[in-house]
Amino acid sequence: MTPRPISRRGALVLGGLGAASLVAGTTGLLAQNASTPGGLPAAGTTGEDLLEPPVLDSREGRLAIVLTAAPGARLAGRDNAALGYNGTSPGPTLRVRPGDDLAVRLTNRLDQPTNLHTHDLQVSPQGNSDNPFLRIDPGTSFDYLYRIPPDHPAGTFWYHPHHHGTVADQLFGGLAGALLVDRGPELPVAADRVLLITDTTLDADGRIVVAGPMDRMMGRQGRLVLVNGQHQPTIAASTGTVQRWRIINGCTSRVLPLRLPGQQLTQIMLDAAFLPGPAGPGRIVLAPGNRADILIRPDRAGRFELLTDAYDRGSTGTGGMMGGRDATSEPATLATLSVDGPPRQPPPLPASLPARTPNTDPVTARREITFAMGMGGSGMGFTIDGRTFDPQRDDQTVQLGSTEEWTITNASPLAHPFHLHIWPFTVLADSAGTPPTGTPQGVVLVPPRGWVRLRIPFTAHPGRSVYHCHILDHEDLGMMATINVRG
Ligand SMILES: [Cu+2]
């Protein structure tokens, strides 16, 4: 099939609902401000045991599945609240191995276009692989085939829709799932859990609230922060054991600074890369799209809350049309760790981790990329290098095999998480002085009025793809651009 270009969406017109009305048709939603109090928390189900989505495992080098995107999934204890894959939100966890083929027949039972993105998977961006330009119309199916290279890194990935203009609504609506590339046992753990974190807002009838124009401009943040679709579930553990939690920030816009007071959170991976050594007790801050694999090693019984702290993504300042909005998230309890057993020391942390050797190829080109927001002819524009997304245009052309240094400048007063598909990068430095991990990652926060400098090896996978702001409202409003890696 020839990929069909998707329609160009320009700047947000203040006062217009845009794609919101499409989602309203899908799930019978009310148009109101998603961040405004008024919805009811899902109190009836808070605290139940953590559920993990069903795992679909590859066999003999192949995982072939059907994924049906449709309304009617349970979320936050409410039946029929959400959009789901195969009836659940999150969708099934897909587990594959390096060298596998992942074949997905995506069936669209929504009433708007969708598609599928395998976030950070290092596969071809072309044809029916991880191609963000595809458009799967309502009532149709599409056969994806992802050929995972034999040297693909193991780690925690995720999948979600990526059809420009409807991404934020569909993710906020519940469409996301975990995708694990598993090389086999790397660490001795008693439990290996997926914690896919999303946020949403439900109205009094348990339906997902549509985001208004101001929510979209600031990046919507739901009133409920959910783990695997549950509100504040309980995670059981025994003293003297180690658990691995694969925490995925699947929120549309929310940044997650994570803490577990009373217990140590030891980070071993960022995105799909092992850190040089176990990191802790430093602060773990996940931008939308980031993942952290962490170890918890309880030595005494008790109940401990996994928290996300408040996070300030910046402010639009005072006065003017924007009226000085700020994009601070409220702190929230994500889950409760419930530990049983007599006091007992867990096995020690591994002395080292199987981190990959960093790429040291000479830099062959340098580029400057600027994220900005400002008033244009038709409203608030979210731009990269002064332009909104045009799928027909090549914004960057890169030679396959080159290693480049990109400086991403943020000319706006809000933080924007930069995400490049297919080709992971290492952060060299940022304007906030954040110590770099030295490991490859897929999303990095660009501080308000700041910058980050990245090193990007384009060593494989020729083809066209995209880079964009992972505040998905901003991406839908045009903060996305194309890259063509030519072989
Ligand atoms: Cu943004």
For residue range 351-404, what is the model confidence (pLDDT) as tens digits? 888 888 888 899 999 999 999 998 665 666 899 999 999 999 999 999 999 999
| Nearest partner of 331 among 270, 263, 256, judged by Cα | 256
Distance 314 CA to ligand 1 centre (A): 11
- 290 or 21: whose pLDDT is higher? 290
* Ligand 1 midpoint to CA 376 (Å): 17
- Of 26-35, 166-175, 438-447, the range with the lowest mean pLDDT is 26-35
Q: Are 70 and 82 in contact (CB under 8 A)?
A: no
Nearest partner of 334 among 55, 88, 46, judged by Cα: 46
Q: What pLDDT score was predicted for residue 378?
A: 60
pLDDT of residue 352: 84
Indicate whether 321 pLDDT > 80.
no
Looking at residue 323, what is its pLDDT?
Answer: 54
User: What local confidence, expressed as pLDDT, does residue 27 receive?
Assistant: 34
Distance 474 CA to ligand 1 centre (A): 5
Distance 371 CA to ligand 1 centre (A): 8
Each residue's pLDDT tens digit, 173-185: 999 999 999 987 7
Quote the ligand 1 centre to 417 CA distance (angstroms): 6
For residue 303, how many other CB atoms are within 10 A of its CB?
Answer: 10
| C-alpha 330 – ligand 1 centre gap (Å) | 19
What is the side-by-side order of every strand in the sheet holding 117-119?
55-57, 93-96, 177-181, 155-160, 117-119
Q: In what order do the strands lie in the sheet with 101-108?
A: 78-85, 62-75, 101-108, 141-147
Secondary structure class of 140 (helix, strand, coil): coil
Q: How far is the CA of 388 from the centre of ligand 1 (A)?
A: 12
Max Cα-Cα span within the chain: 66
> If you measure from the C-alpha of residue 21 to the centroid of ligand 1, how many angstroms do you get, rounded to a whole number?
22
Tell me what pLDDT residue 1 has.
Answer: 37
Distance 309 CA to ligand 1 centre (A): 20
CA pair distance 384, 116, nearest whole angstrom: 23
Q: What is the rounded CA–CA span in Å between residue 487 and residue 485?
A: 7
Ligand 1 centroid distance, CA of 158 (Å) = 20
Give distance in angstroms: CA of 118 to centre of ligand 1: 20
Q: How far is the CA of 415 from the centre of ligand 1 (A)?
A: 7
Residue 253 CA, ligand 1 centroid: distance in Å? 8
| pLDDT tens, position by position, 57-70 | 999 999 999 999 99
For ligand 1, the distance from its centroid to the CA atom of residue 452, given in whole angstroms, is 14
CA 132 to centroid of ligand 1, rounded, Å: 18
Domains of the chain: 20-181 (2.60.40.420), 191-340 (2.60.40.420), 365-486 (2.60.40.420)
Ligand 1 centroid – CA 325 distance (Å): 15
Per-residue pLDDT, averaged over 99-120, amounts to: 98
Q: Inform me whether the pLDDT recorded for 190 exceeds 70.
A: yes
CA atoms within 13 A on the CB side of 293: 28
**Mean pLDDT value of segment 230-259:** 97
Query: What is this structure's pTM?
Result: 0.90
The predicted structure's pLDDT at residue 317: 63
Average of per-residue pLDDT values in the chain: 88
**In whole angstroms, what is the distance from residue 119 CA to residue 106 CA?**
16
- Where does residue 396 rank: exposed (0-12), middle (13-18), buried (19+ CB within 10 A)? middle
